[in-house]
């Protein structure tokens, strides 16, 4: 048995972690409505599991309390004053894994703001704060080739909980927004074995157009059960880049086992192109989040909203499927999966 295993998102949770929005440049001109979207997200999740909310300072703490109370969210939430730069805890927070005894460890990757932004020192320290709050052990993974801190983000890794991982070459192997200079495919796969218990890594090609992270897999391909993948797929050749990428990623999945029935792939449509001030945004139904008994799915005022919601409801029959308005949210270059981080069940709860 490997020393660590990476539970799938659909496994039972003790809690979901989010951070309350406060950095206005992430949503230029739209921060005010984003606070209400976050309150609605917290309301839905809190019906099913505890919500742990990081608040940058006392003023942000007060803002969170005000908006949550307005939405009737008074139970199953805990607020913590923890300085942070941005709210994308999928990437800045640790990945919760299990060790060989079933106990939970915080796999605290190095974080450098997607190798793109200069202000990330507070986000890079979020793992220590979560360790303090949960009283869980924390590990800082290192590169197998150099021994330096391993830079990764949770939005780039997707598991079935049975030893298979989805990642993209664009994220880890291209020469743009380089996280770990000089690290190759074999070294990454060794790291995934050592720290996540992964036996098979499936390398997709590129993520979707507009992705600020440069290729995170959680906007294009997600497991919903062992061996079952939903793939964001653009059928229309007029959307040339997303179409080309979709075709290539489908081909890669076929080679990885879909053609032989080892993998089952269900296509999710993309919504219409969502732009803001002339900039294409990474609008994708694949950025859903699975909490206990519920699936939160971003919607975009698009006819394909219904198709995506129905497809996921069929694939997830034991979960309520709830659409969350994502048009404003995606202006921050992420939606529901990007802003959440799950804490699997069985972990110990520490201080408040």
**Which residues does residue 54 pair with via DSSP β-bridges, in sequence order?**
19, 80
**Which residues does residue 139 pair with via DSSP β-bridges, in sequence order?**
107
Nearest 5 degrees, angle CA 161-CA 163-CA 167?
Answer: 90
Strands (E) in the chain, as ranges, are 4-5, 13-19, 50-55, 77-81, 95-99, 104-107, 138-139, 158-159, 164-168, 200-204, 221-225, 228-232, 264-268, 275-276, 279-280, 289-291, 294-299, 320-325, 341-344
Instruction: Tell me which residues are annotated as active site.
Output: 338
What's residue 109's pLDDT? 98
**Which of 322, 290, 293 minimizes the C-alpha distance to 308?**
322
Strands (E) in 137-243, as ranges, are 138-139, 158-159, 164-168, 200-204, 221-225, 228-232
What's residue 38's pLDDT? 98
- Whole-angstrom distance, CA of residue 105 vs CA of residue 94: 9
What does each of the 352 residues of the chain score in pLDDT, given as a tens digit?
568 999 999 999 999 999 999 999 999 999 999 999 999 999 999 999 999 999 999 999 999 999 999 999 999 999 999 999 999 999 999 999 999 888 999 999 999 999 999 999 999 999 999 999 999 999 999 999 999 999 999 999 999 999 999 999 999 999 999 999 999 999 999 999 999 999 999 999 999 999 999 999 999 999 999 999 999 999 999 999 999 999 999 999 999 999 999 999 999 999 999 999 999 999 999 999 999 999 999 999 999 999 999 999 999 999 999 999 999 999 999 999 999 999 999 755 444 3
What's residue 346's pLDDT? 73
3-class secondary structure, 159 = strand
Contact 11, 345 (CB under 8 A): yes
Query: The domain at 4-344 falls in which architecture?
Result: 5-stranded Propeller (3.75)
Structure tokens belonging to residue 36? 């209400």
Cα of first residue to Cα of last residue in the chain, in angstroms, is 34
Residue 110 Cα to chain centre, angstroms: 16
Give φ, ψ of 214 to 5 degrees: 65, 60
Structure tokens belonging to residue 145? 């080739």
Name the residue ranges covered by the structural domains of the chain.
Answer: 4-344
**Which of 170, 168, 172, 190 minimizes the C-alpha distance to 181?**
172
**Which of 297, 341, 349, 284 minimizes the C-alpha distance to 44?**
297
Residue 308 Cα to chain centre, angstroms: 18
């Amino acid at each position: 048995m490997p020393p660590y295993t990476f539970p799938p998102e659909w496994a039972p949770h003790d809690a979901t972690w989010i951070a309350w929005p406060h950095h206005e440049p992430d949503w230029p001109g739209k921060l005010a409505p984003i606070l209400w979207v976050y309150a609605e997200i917290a309301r839905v999740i809190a019906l099913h599991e505890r919500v742990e909310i990081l608040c940058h300072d006392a003023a942000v703490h007060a803002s969170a309390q005000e908006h949550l109370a307005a939405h009737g969210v008074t139970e199953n939430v805990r607020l913590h004053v923890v300085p942070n730069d941005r709210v994308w805890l999928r990437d800045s927070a640790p990945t919760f894994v299990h060790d060989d005894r079933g106990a939970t460890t915080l796999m605290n990757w190095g974080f450098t703001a997607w190798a793109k932004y200069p202000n990330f020192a507070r986000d890079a320290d979020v793992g220590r704060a979560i360790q303090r709050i949960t009283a869980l052990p924390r590990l800082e993974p290192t590169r197998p080739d150099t021994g330096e801190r391993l830079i990764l983000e949770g939005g780039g890794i997707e598991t079935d909980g049975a030893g298979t991982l989805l990642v993209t070459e664009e994220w880890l192997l291209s020469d743009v927004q380089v996280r770990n200079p000089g690290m190759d495919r074999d070294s990454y796969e060794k790291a995934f074995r050592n720290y996540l218990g992964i036996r098979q890594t499936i390398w997709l090609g590129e993520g979707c157009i507009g992705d600020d992270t440069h290729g995170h897999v959680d906007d294009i391909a997600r497991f919903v059960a062992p061996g079952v993948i939903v793939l964001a797929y653009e059928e229309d050749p007029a959307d040339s880049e997303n179409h080309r990428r979709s075709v290539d990623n489908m081909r890669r999945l076929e080679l990885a086992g879909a053609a032989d029935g080892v993998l089952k792939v269900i296509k999710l449509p993309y919504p219409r192109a969502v732009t803001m001030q002339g900039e294409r945004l990474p609008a994708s139904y694949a950025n859903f989040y699975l909490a206990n008994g519920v699936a939160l799915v971003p919607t975009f005022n698009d006819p394909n909203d219904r198709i995506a919601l129905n497809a996921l409801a069929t694939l997830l029959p034991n979960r309520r499927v709830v659409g969350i308005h994502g048009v404003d949210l995606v202006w921050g270059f992420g939606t529901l999966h990007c802003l959440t981080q799950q804490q699997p069940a069985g972990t110990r709860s520490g201080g408040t």
